[in-house]
Amino acid sequence: MFNSVHEVAVIDATMEWARYSNRFNELLGDDIEKYKAMKQEFPEDPEVVVISGSTSGIYEDEEWIDALVEKVSEYIEDDVPVLGLCFGHQVIAKAMGAEVVQMDEYEIGYRPIEIKGESEIFGGLDSVEYPFNTHQDKVTGMPEELEPIAATEMANQAFQHQEKPVYGVQFHPELTPPIKEKAIRTKDMPEEKKERLMREVNDANFDRAKRVLKIFENFFEEAKKHYSTASVGDRSISSERVVK
């Protein structure tokens, strides 16, 4: 688990998937508050927000997706620290005016990502890391407020807001091997490719990919710095909760 964080609101954008939802408790502690985006449950006046992945596409005509994008836009406007993972990355991008488009094929498996320049969210990591990806959508046409900070050959893999503690990562730092295996099994792709990808979900690759979990620690540290001098809306933040 990770230290130095204010009260954390996790917006879960999946359907009822206990194994995935519980993973955030394993990483961030049992005292986080979780909200179901599909039920249009969103935190009011949150201190720190983490947006999960999803099996849905950001461009789907769903009322809850529109409501989530609008709410995240409000959080960003109010200077709330926000971290988006995969679908959450795309939600932030859309809230900021970027486009999200479907690619011709899935980007899935342990792909090398190139970290470009310097960013606090990637502090302590190498210029090339190997996290797990599972997505068919990518962010394009980012506004100047969003700075691209990592990429693969196929897609943007991370961005940061130029002035606010807002970050998105396309990859999945949070997934365990069983969740990765399920993601592979449910994809519409040739069985031969699935079998190859399943073989890659091994202890060595998982241990190497775990390095990118550091983005949670880095994000929470940036939130802590932000709240040492800032306020959200009309209220100051004074919480000193620590996730053990």
Domain regions of the chain by residue span: 8-174+211-230
Assess whether 86 carries a catalytic annotation.
yes
- Please, are residues 118 and 125 in contact by the beta-carbon 8 Å criterion? no
Catalytic residue among 86, 107, 129, 221: 86
Catalytic residue among 6, 135, 161, 172: 172
The pLDDT score that the predictor gives to residue 231 is 52
Report whether pLDDT(234) > 80.
no
Mean pLDDT check: name the lowest of 1-10, 63-72, 188-197, 222-231.
1-10
Assess whether 174 carries a catalytic annotation.
yes
C-alpha 207/C-alpha 147 separation (Å) is 29
Assess whether 172 carries a catalytic annotation.
yes
pLDDT per position as a tens digit, 112-138: 999 987 899 999 999 999 999 999 999
The pLDDT score that the predictor gives to residue 221 is 94
Residue 135: burial class (beta carbons within 10 Å; 0-12, 13-18, 19+): buried
pLDDT per position as a tens digit, 66-79: 999 999 999 999 99
- Please, are residues 47 and 227 in contact by the beta-carbon 8 Å criterion? yes
H/E element holding 71? helix 63-77
**Is 8-174+211-230 assigned to CATH 3.40.50.880?**
yes
Catalytic residue among 47, 107, 129, 174: 174
- Please, are residues 14 and 54 in contact by the beta-carbon 8 Å criterion? yes
Residue of 182, 213, 175 lying closest to 197 (CA atoms): 182
